[in-house]
Chain A
Amino acid sequence: MVTVDTAVAPTSSTPGQEAGGLTPGRVLAWACLIAIIAITLFPFYWMLRTALSNGTTLATAGTSWLPVDFTWGAFRRVLGLATLEEAQAEGGTGSAVDFWVYLRNSVLVASLITAGQVFFGALAAYAFARMRWPGRDAVFFVLLTALMVPPIFTQLPNFLLMRDLGLINTYAALVLPFFFMTPFAVFFLRQFFLGISREIEEAARLDGAGHVRTFFQLIVPMSWGPITTLALLQYVQAWNEYFWPLLVGSERSVRTLTVALGVFRSQTPQGSLDWPGLMAATLIAALPVLLLFIAFGRKIVDSIGFSGIK
């Protein structure tokens, strides 16, 4: 069982081996850490550098560390702001990219999935953590088994289900399988709800509040931290999902950004890919998640330990 503080409280500790000072070992260790961080971050810089380069001269410039022949052209192409001539002059195809449509689809799908998962997950978590009813632990266990099933196993039949319902290439197909239930959300919130003291709830009970009121007016406001964290994690995951949207949402009108990037890549199987355009598109696709991360990084980092150590 998780004790929340293992993940959330780095307080109990002064930094590791501060007593040793700058020994050769510590210098070496820092060098290692910095090297790993550099390898972690360099590709992001390279993505930006390429996106700001001119496609026609990029190939000749090799390892130039700065953007080659600096231009906003790639971003303009991706956002549909460039004219055909402009695009072709910088090595783009000039074919229209429905970026804004894909962006809208991604935002819509990820938002709906997150809202459903967090809301229904919180309801269920409350029933499992704070209420007593026959069969509770058995039902909880059965729901958790869904964690073990590899997604592809259920996604093949789910595809047929969506097809039978006539929902292929609709938002409903993209959202529904994730909307009501994710074992992780239930488990995650249940752990937090278990930690809430009974007395607070008893007090509410004495004031005549039923479970519904207790949940909405007491538990939810008290658990705003974990709920936001869960929402962030699920949003990032929904935003990044590729396999399911590829199966049921390949049509342009419902295509998400991840699927669009895959299509973009496969349309030019050989030779002259528009690398600056592609990198500009990947950067924009990654941007919302990176912004969320900059805003809520601490919550996300802290929750990682929690999600793993069950």
Chain B
Amino acid sequence: MTTTAVPAAGAPASGAPAVARPVGRNRETWVALGFILPSVFGFVVFYLWPSVRGFGLSLTDYQFFSDTSFVGLANYQRLLGDETFWNAMLVTVWYVVLNIGFQTVLAILLAVLLHRLTRSVVIRGLVLAPYLVANVVVALLWFWMLDAQIGIVNQILSWFGIGPISFFGSESWAIPTIAFVNTWRHLGYTALLIFAGLVMIPRTLYEAGRVDGASEWQMFWRITMPLLRPVLALVLVITVVGSFQVFDTVAVTTMGGPADASRVIQYYIFDLAFERLDYGYASAVSVVLLVILSVIAFVQLRLMRANESDLA
């Protein structure tokens, strides 16, 4: 890198120390391009181009083996009258509501317990354990534990005269069960995100609260919850967007059944594309999923920004 400071025309206008080194800067640009080249290549080939192609395919009747033709918005029109699609939407929303409900309440509880009781990394590690195991493993594990005949959960319920409940096999239980299983897997992770937010709340606030005679319960509602809102909003974006895309658990346990009761939107897309080979239509449904998730993320991020002042 040369240090010959030849002031470039107009460059040092800011009056800053003469750091303009056109030769060096130019070379830096080339080196930088070299550094980002692999990532940009990956982005263009596996994110950008597929996205464009995805939109394109949604306007065709692509079916793998027959000729493809442009059908305009026909797929989107069909979608409006597709009862299975609307059912899948409904099922997914029901799943998201249950999953996020369980998960958020329990995660706040767990995070506050961790924060108020212990700094042990071991304990934080233990609650994270399910998150590190594959969805497929978690699904099979609970499939066994919730088995209608010889699963441990039904055995225990029978002590109380309940059941047996066909958790994965009944229309009303399938989605709550899948929501529970995924809550079990993600609880520790979500709790640790919230925990990171709790650590940022100044300790002096709690000390002041105690001096004023506030109970733990009052401090939770008056100090913890208001100051946690920005973090909670962010956690909600991550978890809601994530849980809209539930697939693995469904694919391994219920395969959409019984009678479409757990046919969530992502499983429906998979089914359309790779079982029924209705690829163009599957692409249209995935475009709709993309739009929904973008809107959710956008709205939630706006809400988060509105709350940012709380931590100031």
Instruction: Report B-chain residues with C-beta under 8 Å of the C-beta of A212.
Output: 31
In B144-193, the 8 Å CB interface with A consists of 144-145, 149-150, 152, 155-156, 184, 187-189, 192-193
Instruction: Report A-chain residues with C-beta under 8 Å of the C-beta of B294.
Output: 148
Instruction: Report A-chain residues with C-beta under 8 Å of the C-beta of B196.
Output: 6-7, 304-306, 308-309
A131 near B35 with CB under 8 A, answer yes
Instruction: Report B-chain residues with C-beta under 8 Å of the C-beta of A126.
Output: 35
Instruction: Report A-chain residues with C-beta under 8 Å of the C-beta of B11.
Output: none
Proximity bits, B236-258, A CB within 8 Å = 1, else 0: 00100100110110011001000
B43 near A10 with CB under 8 A, answer no
Asked if B38 is at the interface (CB within 8 A of a chain A CB), the reply is yes
Asked if B221 is at the interface (CB within 8 A of a chain A CB), the reply is no
Instruction: Report B-chain residues with C-beta under 8 Å of the C-beta of A234.
Output: none
B117 near A124 with CB under 8 A, answer no
Would you list 26 pairs from A and B whose C-beta atoms are within 8 A, ordered by A residue?
A15-B118, A36-B187, A39-B184, A40-B126, A40-B188, A143-B39, A154-B51, A156-B269, A156-B286, A157-B51, A161-B50, A210-B31, A215-B35, A240-B132, A243-B248, A261-B140, A265-B140, A265-B143, A278-B140, A289-B132, A300-B132, A301-B124, A304-B192, A304-B196, A305-B192, A308-B193
In A44-71, the 8 Å CB interface with B consists of 44, 46-47, 50, 58-59, 62-63
B113 near A124 with CB under 8 A, answer no
How many angstroms from the CA of A43 to the CA of B200 in the assembled complex?
A: 33
Asked if A153 is at the interface (CB within 8 A of a chain B CB), the reply is yes
How many angstroms from the CA of A131 to the CA of B33 in the assembled complex?
A: 10
Instruction: Report A-chain residues with C-beta under 8 Å of the C-beta of B283.
Output: 156-157
Proximity bits, B251-276, A CB within 8 Å = 1, else 0: 11001000000000010011001100
CB distance from A4 to the nearest CB of B (A): 11
Instruction: Report A-chain residues with C-beta under 8 Å of the C-beta of B229.
Output: none
A290 near B51 with CB under 8 A, answer no
CB distance from A194 to the nearest CB of B (A): 15
Instruction: Report B-chain residues with C-beta under 8 Å of the C-beta of A150.
Output: 241, 244-245, 286, 289-290, 293
B155 near A308 with CB under 8 A, answer no
A186 near B39 with CB under 8 A, answer yes
A240 near B54 with CB under 8 A, answer no
B-binding segment of A22-30, A72-80, A81-89, A223-231:
A22-30
Most B CB within 10 A of own CB, among A59, A142, A143, A179: A143
A285 near B137 with CB under 8 A, answer yes
Asked if A310 is at the interface (CB within 8 A of a chain B CB), the reply is yes
B36 near A285 with CB under 8 A, answer no
Residues in A lying within 8 Å of B, measured CB to CB: 6-7, 10, 13, 15-17, 25-26, 29-30, 32-33, 36-37, 39-41, 43-44, 46-47, 50, 58-59, 62-63, 120-121, 123-124, 126-128, 131-134, 136, 139, 142-143, 146, 148-161, 176-177, 179-181, 186, 205, 208, 210-212, 215, 236, 239-240, 242-243, 246-247, 257-258, 261-262, 265-266, 275, 278-279, 282, 285-286, 289-290, 293, 297-298, 300-302, 304-306, 308-310
How many angstroms from the CA of A301 to the CA of B283 in the assembled complex?
A: 37
Instruction: Report A-chain residues with C-beta under 8 Å of the C-beta of B231.
Output: 308-309
B245 near A151 with CB under 8 A, answer yes
In B36-53, the 8 Å CB interface with A consists of 36, 38-43, 45-47, 49-51, 53
User: Given A41-B129, A308-B196, are A179 and B42 also a contact pair (CB < 8 Å)?
Assistant: yes
User: Given A10-B199, A262-B251, are A128 and B36 also a contact pair (CB < 8 Å)?
Assistant: yes
In B43-102, the 8 Å CB interface with A consists of 43, 45-47, 49-51, 53-54, 57
Proximity bits, B191-221, A CB within 8 Å = 1, else 0: 0110111011001000000000000100000
In B114-147, the 8 Å CB interface with A consists of 114-119, 121-130, 132-137, 140-145
Residues in B lying within 8 Å of A, measured CB to CB: 1, 25, 28-29, 31-33, 35-36, 38-43, 45-47, 49-51, 53-54, 57, 106, 109-110, 113-119, 121-130, 132-137, 140-145, 149-150, 152, 155-156, 184, 187-189, 192-193, 195-197, 199-200, 203, 216, 231, 234-235, 238, 241, 244-245, 247-248, 251-252, 255, 266, 269-270, 273-274, 279, 282-283, 286-287, 289-290, 293-294, 297
User: Given A26-B117, A124-B35, A150-B289, are A40 and B47 also a contact pair (CB < 8 Å)?
Assistant: no
Known: A210-B31, A240-B133, A240-B135. 4 other contacts (CB 8 A): A266-B255, A275-B144, A301-B121, A301-B125
How many angstroms from the CA of A231 to the CA of B144 in the assembled complex?
A: 32
Closest to A16 in B: B116
A63 near B152 with CB under 8 A, answer yes
A46 near B125 with CB under 8 A, answer no
B125 near A293 with CB under 8 A, answer yes
How many angstroms from the CA of A151 to the CA of B241 in the assembled complex?
A: 11
B125 near A32 with CB under 8 A, answer no
B290 near A149 with CB under 8 A, answer yes
User: Given A26-B117, A63-B156, are A153 and B184 also a contact pair (CB < 8 Å)?
Assistant: no
Most B CB within 10 A of own CB, among A58, A186, A308, A309: A308
A286 near B137 with CB under 8 A, answer yes
A29 near B47 with CB under 8 A, answer no
Question: B46 contacts which of A133, A158, A210, A262 (Cβ < 8 Å)?
Answer: A158
